[in-house]
Amino acid sequence: MTERKPPGVSFESWVDRQIRDAQQRGEFAGLEGAGRPFDEGVETPYDELWWIKRKMVREGLSSLPPSLALRKEVEDALAAAWAAPSAAAARRIVAEVNPKILDMMLKPPPGPPLGLKPFDLDEIAREWHARRTEAEPAPE
């Protein structure tokens, strides 16, 4: 236990003296994490829910309402479909998200409206082909 601050000594100089004495005794040498950068979030403002947010990231949970989470999933699925190696792969990717859209349309969740409808897989394949032909340079 540390000693009490003597009367008449400013708090700052008393603390500074204790730190200096501890450094001279080598009490700060070899501390775990010495020489490594601080963890992410050390410089951010205090958030009362930091532990909940960290737990949600660790567990892979989302704080978005279901309709917004599905919109994000659809956006990611379309990006993956356009980058797919074949039209069949693009159809498969979008076919996986279509039942989720239909389910959300039939029983609306809490939160903002979905604003989506299931995709026409043939149209996805046509657009995939169109995007591929636009991106390819014309042979000379």
pLDDT value at residue 40? 66
pLDDT value at residue 88? 93
Instruction: Please state, in angstroms and rounded to a whole number, the distance separating the CA atoms of residues 68 and 112.
Output: 7
SS3 content of the chain, % helix, strand, coil (to 5): 55, 0, 45
pLDDT value at residue 52? 86
Identify whether the C-beta of residue 106 lies closer than 8 Å to the C-beta of residue 68.
no
Mean pLDDT value of segment 114-124: 88
Token representation of residue 6:
């003597």
pLDDT value at residue 140? 61
- Give the model's confidence band at 1: pLDDT under 50 very low, under 70 low, under 90 confident, else very high: very low
Which is higher by pLDDT, 139 or 92? Answer: 92
Identify whether the C-beta of residue 111 lies closer than 8 Å to the C-beta of residue 128.
no
